[in-house]
Amino acid sequence: MPSFHRKLERSAIGFVLAIVGVSAIGGFVEIAPLFTIHETVEKAPDMRVYTPLELAGRNIYLREGCYACHSQMIRTLRDEVERYGPYSLAVESQYDHPMLWGSKRTGPDLARLGGKYSDAWQTAHLRNPRDVVPESVMPKYGWLERTTLRTDDLGDHLLAMSRVGVPYTQAMIDNAPADAYGQATPDTTFATDVSERYGEATNIRAFDGDPSRVTEMDALVAYLQILGKLTDAATAKTEATGAEAPKAEATKAETGATQATGG
Amino acid sequence: MELGKRDPVTGRTTTGHEWNGIEELDSPVPRVVLFFLAVTILFSIGYWVLMPAWPLGWTYTKGVLGIDQREIVTREVADAATARAGWTDRVATLDYAAIEADPALMQSVRETGRTLFVDNCAACHGVDAKGGPGFPDLKAKSWLWGGTPEAIAETIRVGINSTHGDTRVSQMMAFGKEGILDREQVTNVVAYVRSLSGTATGAPLDADRVKAGQEVFAANCVACHGEAGKGNAELGAPDLTDQAWIYGGDAQSIYSTVYGGRQGHMPHWGERLSPIDTKILALYVHSLEGEAK
């Protein structure tokens, strides 16, 4: 063994080839899971995309570093499933670039936050978390409510997302600023356009309670209210899997079938 | 370079490299390191065999243990449900009154209900269930939609002004903003409303205003709040004669409410909580009433 190594490191070409060979193992280990990605990422035909306002809210979420304290991934552990809801599926973050799963929590997981609390609560909580949760250590984000949302570049954000595979249509990209405005100002023609383009299930509300202007608070609350709501894949899976023991056999067969047809 | 040269102190061979008189010993890797390297390699081979590991084109090796974390968690949740089926089955089948008459059963309901409440309800209603500005106090015995466990369960299931199809719907109109009442009338009706609950502090209420306010009240407010201002649980209209105020009971707060209207929003929990959890929560919330404030 020592003499083999001695010989190898004295041959330039041989040593380079050996380095390439060993590095390739590491590369293969990283790439290999993608071979079976059709099994890892479930199908969710009902999955909808982030609206421009929600995407803007997501960008604010990234900008303010919310992910440093809040994960967006419910793990396959009983206490998490009982507290937060069905465990997260890979498909639920297929339009997340980058994903915000996270492995550290100071605050609670947010993967299924959408619709859990009212807009009024979200706004009050961001304004000063201690107003509604006295023991909270979260910083205040009151200025979001006073900062008008920048919408003129949202078309570019949508375009960038479409380049990495998010199915935005040209109409969505072209009308992004108007749609961002419309989603936060109900009872306008802009709002009607949003539900036409993004579906009836889209939340169209004055998220911060003030329909007269679109603020960063509107965007962030719109984003928080959609978390876990882009697809029903996770709830559908839980219903199929069932909570009762006798169903376990059927579940297994079903899971197998899903996997077989998954690709 | 001088291969095979021996270091005079240790007796080991050197690598033959020499920097300003400093030479590098060609010591072999310590055996203990090699030993643990071998152990980790053996461990990984065992792991590959037992656990899902290697990709094989369109599938992967599933491992002889057949472990799937999703199945494990599903089973654990199911086992937990089975473990507490002894009392949850009785909660599911008995009616509310029968459950509340059974102290042992209520003990379990309160323990589980507490956890459900803190996980889901406490963000708005507070861990002490006493609410806050804009979020109702659940211990105040002042129920917008009825305080029976049945009514509470229904409110939890469908929410208030929520996106649920059967949602409870209620709105306090913006009497001032919409131009239905002028400022004088709003001020008068606020004085009258404050006289109903006897909460007015500071300067005594102006009797003329109270009287004028009563007329405004009779013309505009009785449809929902009732002639005596006792509210209406069918419409979610609050009782104005008690001491509980969601948006504040001082003159300024009531003025804001009458002027700008209110439309609180409680999300619906029918999709998030199972029927049994909803029933447990309703019983828990109802049991809070009996606690000392």
* B247 plus B192 within the same structural domain: yes
Find the domain containing B236 and state its range: 183-260
Contacts 24+ apart (CB under 8 A), B86-89: B88/B276, B88/B280
3-state SS string for chain A: CHHHHHHHCCCHHHHHHHHHHHHHHHHHHHHHHHHHHHHHCCCCCCCCCCCHHHHHHHHHHHHCCHHHCCCCCCCCCHHHHHHHCCCCCHHHHCCCCCCCCCCCCCCCCCCCCCCCCCHHHHHHHHHCHHHHCCCCCCCCCCHHHHCECCCCCHHHHHHHHHHCCCCCCHHHHHCHHHHHHHHCCCCCHHHHHHHHHHCCCCCCCCCCCCCCCCEHHHHHHHHHCCCCCCCCHHHHHHHHHCCCHHHHHHHHHHHHHHHHHHC
> What's the domain count of chain B?
3
List CB contacts (< 8 A) between B59 and chain A. 36, 39
Domain holding B92: CATH number? 1.10.760.10
Which chain B residue has the Cα nearest residue A108?
B119
The answer as to whether B86 is a domain residue is yes
| Contact between A245 and B76 using a beta-carbon 8 Å cutoff | no
* B249 plus B283 within the same structural domain: no
The predicted structure's pLDDT at residue A261:
36
Are the beta carbons of B244 and B142 closer than 8 angstroms? yes
The answer as to whether B237 is a domain residue is yes
* B53 plus B106 within the same structural domain: no
Task: Report the residue of A6, A81, A118, A133 to disrupt the B interface, i.e. the one with the largest count of B CBs within 10 Å.
Answer: A118
The predicted structure's pLDDT at residue A52:
97
Q: Which of A81, A132, A251 sits opposite B77 (nearest CB)?
A: A81
List CB contacts (< 8 A) between A235 and chain B. 271
The answer as to whether B157 is a domain residue is no
The answer as to whether B267 is a domain residue is no
List CB contacts (< 8 A) between A1 and chain B. none
Total-model pTM: 0.84
* B112 plus B254 within the same structural domain: no
Q: Does B60 touch chain A (CB under 8 A)?
A: yes
Backbone angles phi, psi at B146, to 5 degrees: 100, 140
List CB contacts (< 8 A) between B163 and chain A. 115
Q: Does B132 touch chain A (CB under 8 A)?
A: yes
Q: Does B74 touch chain A (CB under 8 A)?
A: yes
The predicted structure's pLDDT at residue A33:
79
Top mean-pLDDT range of A247-256, B25-34, B54-63: B25-34
Share of residues in chain B with pLDDT > 90 (%): 69
* B255 plus B190 within the same structural domain: yes
Arithmetic mean of pLDDT over chain A:
87
Q: Does B133 touch chain A (CB under 8 A)?
A: yes
Q: Which of A35, A36, A243 sits opposite B78 (nearest CB)?
A: A243
ipTM, interface predicted TM-score of the complex: 0.83
Q: Residue A10 pLDDT > 50, yes or no? A: yes
The answer as to whether B35 is a domain residue is yes
CB pairs under 8 A between A and B: 92
Q: Residue A260 pLDDT > 60, yes or no? A: no
Distance CA B172, CA B142 (A): 17
The predicted structure's pLDDT at residue A234:
84
pLDDT digits (tens, 9 = 90+) for A181-232: 999 999 899 999 999 999 988 999 999 998 999 999 999 999 999 999 999 8
Domains in chain A, CATH or no CATH each: 42-242 (1.10.760.10)
* B253 plus B219 within the same structural domain: yes
Distance CA B149, CA A202 (A): 33
Q: Which of A35, A124, A251 sits opposite B57 (nearest CB)?
A: A35
The predicted model gives A33-53 an average pLDDT of: 86
List CB contacts (< 8 A) between B76 and chain A. 78
* B95 plus B40 within the same structural domain: no
Q: Residue A240 pLDDT > 60, yes or no? A: no
The predicted model gives B145-164 an average pLDDT of: 94
Distance CA A250, CA A255 (A): 9
* B196 plus B227 within the same structural domain: yes
Report the SS3 class of residue B232: strand
The predicted structure's pLDDT at residue A255:
38
Q: How far is B58 from chain A (nearest CA, A)?
A: 6
The predicted structure's pLDDT at residue A66:
95
Arithmetic mean of pLDDT over chain B:
90
| Contact between A36 and B70 using a beta-carbon 8 Å cutoff | no
pLDDT digits (tens, 9 = 90+) for A130-174: 999 999 999 999 999 999 999 999 999 999 999 999 999 999 999
The predicted model gives B251-275 an average pLDDT of: 93
The answer as to whether B2 is a domain residue is no
* B19 plus B81 within the same structural domain: no
At A253, is the pLDDT very low, low, confident or very high (cuts 50, 70, 90)?
very low
The predicted structure's pLDDT at residue A158:
97
The answer as to whether B28 is a domain residue is yes
* B243 plus B282 within the same structural domain: no
* B81 plus B55 within the same structural domain: no
Which amino acid is it at A10?
R
Which chain B residue has the Cα nearest residue A134?
B126
| Contact between A131 and B274 using a beta-carbon 8 Å cutoff | no
Q: Does A235 touch chain B (CB under 8 A)?
A: yes
The predicted structure's pLDDT at residue A175:
96
The answer as to whether B152 is a domain residue is no
Q: Which of B60, B80, B98 is the last residue of a domain?
A: B60
* B193 plus B247 within the same structural domain: yes
